Amino acid sequence: KMTVKAVKMPCTAPNVYTKVPDGGWGWTVAFAFFFVEALTYGIIKSFGVFFNDLMESFDETNSRISWIISICVFVQTFTAPLSTVLSNRFGHRFVVMAGGVLISTGMVTASFARTVVDMYVTIGIVSGLGYCLSFLPTVTILSQYFDKRRSLVTAVASTGECFAVFSFAPAITALKEQIGWRYSLLSVGVLQLSIVICGSLLRPIVIKEQEVVKAQPPEEPTETKYMLENEQTRTSIESIDSGVEITTSPSNVPGNTKAEPKSEEPKEHVQILVDNNSTPPEPKTKLLDFSVMRDYSFICYAFFGLFATLGFFAPSLYIIPLSLSLGISKDHSAYILSAMAIAEVFGRISAGWVLNKKPIRKIYIELICVVLLSVALFAFPFASEFWGLMTCSIFFGFMLGTVAGTHIPLLAEDDVVGIAKMSSAAGVYVFIQSLAGLAGPPLAGVLVDTTQNYSSAFYSCAAGMVLGAVFLSLVRPCKAGLCHRQQQCAEESAAAVVAPDLPDDFIEMDIGKAETSGKGGD
């Protein structure tokens, strides 16, 4: 029976486990991720409450003010590989804390901005980089603390973004009426400094497996019995140098020393407990492992993320203009957007609950959700009144929650890259997404300006989501084909090793013997 001694360590030391804990300190990490999600994506989605104030103060158009968030989101996703490199070099905790400082600095500085270009630099670049350094390492280390419950815990923790939209938007609006938009923005920046506290809770995790190896006795051993008083002395030399603890039985231990007659006691195998501390140190983790780009399943999954991102933004940006164009009042339009956010919460939790079931092929559940999300996008242009748009928004919000809360954690599944390469894969994956995040809104805007119809934006996003579903459907076949080829190569190499080297005259000797026996018979 193997026992693991608990070692008391300071709060800054890594948590060492023999297997993925599926809990423990991971619950604290999930708590931190909830607030990081609220203070990053929650603030980004609530930033629209400042739009009218910024247009009046800087005398700028809506499109130029919109570039503040566009640049911010692009920098956040484009610098994802940098976040991976820094996390592997300095640890997740330090990177998230540094990201919190950058976010707060950008927001506080933006409250003193005099032109919209100042906003591009402070919020777009400085805070955008901070968002990347805060969000991606947090979701990565959360996935390392959970295995069986990973999908459910990540989905529930990611609802911090949705709850933030409910609370921050009305709170900031009320605060602006009291102290103005500049001091309100300053207060938001100070509040985001609490990301540093969340980052301090991200204790690194180390998994050290211990394996028990049973040494089988030789085919024809010379059975002996060690003298009990000499047993410890004879095994001490090897055990001290190698760090291997050997447990032997006082009877039937093979050896070449003088022994008593054969004992009738039952045989016992030699049990060797291998301690990982005695093995040579593992090579250092690569700062950014680009080997994932040679994995066809990851390439397909990255293209899924690229095209699916086109469908994430359209309803939140164009649902209110679309409803106003149909003659729906502003208040009712706001209700539609709120209903979408509520449905997204239930979608995230439901997806986490379903993906937590065993056995289940999670990649296929994700594919079903993406297909239904495409249907929701195609349905928007056919809505002609309030309840039609409300139904489409609720359906879209629910399906958006199922995909948005799970598409990054699914990188840790063996069908994509696995938990070992998730850190590098997440950086490359989000980087590829940035291209669609930057090109998507302007593309939809051009279509709306050209056709003078908001429905065209929804059609373009639905087309992108369909392409994403096609690439997602190829992930599992690519992975299965790659594993089959690797297994085939392993079997061929094993067969080459097992085949014995026969002497050149082996066949000739056997033929000679056969001829001799034949003549004798005659």
DSSP state, residue 49: G
Q: How far apart are CA 414 and CA 385, in angstroms?
A: 45
Helix (H, G, I), strand (E, B) or coil at 247: strand
Instruction: Assign 3-class secondary structure to 330-367.
Output: HHHHHHHHHHHHHHHHHHHHHHHHHHCCCCCCHHHHHH
Torsion angles phi and psi, residue 272, rounded to 5: -115, 125
Q: Look at residue 161 in the predicted model and tell me its pLDDT.
A: 83
Residue 194 has what pLDDT? 93
Task: Determine phi and psi for 11, rounding to 5 degrees.
Answer: -65, -20
Q: How far are the Cα atoms of 375, 384, 440, 455 from residue 322, in angstroms, in the given order?
A: 18, 10, 18, 8
Name residues whose C-beta falls within 8 Å of residue 44's C-beta, 6 or more positions apart in sequence. Answer: 69, 72, 73, 131
Q: Quick one: which of 457, 314, 323, 321 has its CA closest to 383?
A: 323
**Average pLDDT, 10 consecutive residues per value, the chain (522 residues):** 42 65 84 92 83 84 78 85 86 92 94 92 93 89 82 83 80 86 93 93 76 51 46 45 43 45 45 44 56 81 87 73 80 77 86 75 86 91 88 90 81 77 78 76 76 83 90 86 58 55 50 53 53
pTM to 2 decimal places: 0.63
Q: What is the rounded end-to-end Cα distance, in angstroms, of the chain?
A: 67
pLDDT at 406: 79
What residue type is 185 in one-letter code?
L
**CB within 8 A of 257, min separation 6: which ones?**
224, 226
Q: Please tell me the distance from the alpha carbon of residue 319 to that of residue 329, in angstroms, as a whole number.
A: 12
* Residue count of the chain: 522
Residue 190 CB: number of other CB atoms within 10 A?
12
Where does 194-329 have alpha helices with state H?
195-200, 228-242, 296-308, 314-325
391: helix, strand or coil: helix
1, 7, 121, 214, 248 from 273: Cα distances, Å: 10, 19, 58, 9, 11
- Angle, CA 276 vertex, CA 272 and CA 281 arms, to 5°: 140
Q: Which two tokens stand for residue 510?
A: 């056997």
- Bond from prior residue into 280 cis (ω within 30 degrees of 0): no
Q: CA 349, 350, 354 angle in degrees (round to 5)?
A: 120
Q: 17-208 maps to which CATH number?
A: 1.20.1250.20
pLDDT at 109: 94
411 CB burial (10 A radius; 0-12, 13-18, 19+): buried
For domain 288-494, give the fold: Growth Hormone; Chain: A; (1.20.1250)
Distance, CA of 319 to CA of 327 (rounded, Å) = 13
Q: Please, where in the chain does CATH 1.20.1250.20 lie?
A: 17-208, 288-494
Copy the structure tokens of residue 278: 């005695």
Please compute Rg for the chain using Cα positions.
Answer: 31
